[in-house]
Amino acid sequence: MKTFGVTIHSTGKYVPDNSVYNETLTQWMDTSDEWIRKRTGIKKRYLSKGEDTSDLCIKASLDALNKRRIDISQIGLVIVATMTPDSQSPSVSSKVQAALKANNAMAFDLSAACSGFVYGLSAAEKMLRHMDHPYALVIGGEVMSKTLDWNDRKTSVLFGDGAGAVILKKESGAESFIAEDLHTDGEKGHALVSGEQAVRNPLCEMNVKDGFLVMDGRAIFNFVTKSIPKSIEQVLKKGSADIIDVDYFLLHQANARIIEIVSKKLDRPLSKFLMNIENYGNTSAASLPILLDESIENGTIKLNSGQTIVLSAFGGGLTWGTLLIKI
């Protein structure tokens, strides 16, 4: 019986045309460029002028598909990681599948907030090994701007909109996925809540909820700076790898200060931790695939090079997870 591995075959991304610098936010709320940069490292972000999550995901997918000219009929799986779907039904992934005419693909959305893309890759690589078709499409896509209270500078300055896509390929004699470390702590879930809806029916009083994203930034900051270094160390142990052999660490782009702290705790140079938060802000589940694609486009990471990379994310749930990958 032939044994197949799963590799990262192609990547793509898409962000709205509309870039919003910190200076523009000062016209909308009481904030400043200095205040935002000092606390987050963010200079600008991209905000949708009407494109919804499925629109961004479709365009990111086409970018990935066009780079390798893949036969769409050979895609067997589409997973969209998102916390900002167009609707509860149909799913964003169903809309992507329809737009691409990926008629042989099953499709579903995955909700794990900012950890969604890591969770999605983990699920897709396992499912793909048992499917008839050789390709899977994993997308992280968000229109975070529609979840925000734009009068709340604690949250609204942090986020941006965008989508990133990765195409996985099942093939013999190759393997990208070495080890993983995935976690959830639902008892801390109240630290980040978004899209909350009231129960509405004739048997209960209507409790109006606005659904805006609310976050205990300090609690999440403390949680992440303790949990992510441990998760990275654990995935290296599982993969029998030494930290000095990791070429690059790609962490969820939530806050530059978090990444700097993780770098220090792991005693690795900050140059090994790729960052683009300055130009995108926190795009939730889209941040890692956007960063991965950008790093491949600029030549820092090379497909089929054998480079060792760590992908690590954290977010609402609370969820966190790390993948050790040979790219």
Catalytic residues: 114, 252, 282
- Are 63 and 13 a contacting pair, CB within 8 Å? yes
Give burial (CB, 10 Å; 0-12/13-18/19+) of 241.
middle
CA 262 to chain centre: 18
Whole-angstrom CA distances from 184 to 91, 196, 230, 253, 321 are: 23, 19, 14, 19, 9
What gap in Å lies between CA 89 and CA 91, rounded to an integer?
Answer: 5
Rounded to the nearest 5°, which phi and psi values hold at 190? Answer: -65, -10
What gap in Å lies between CA 316 and CA 127, rounded to an integer?
Answer: 24
What gap in Å lies between CA 119 and CA 111, rounded to an integer?
Answer: 9
Q: How many CB atoms lie within 10 A of CB 152?
A: 14
Q: Is 233 helix (H, G, I), strand (E, B) or coil?
A: helix
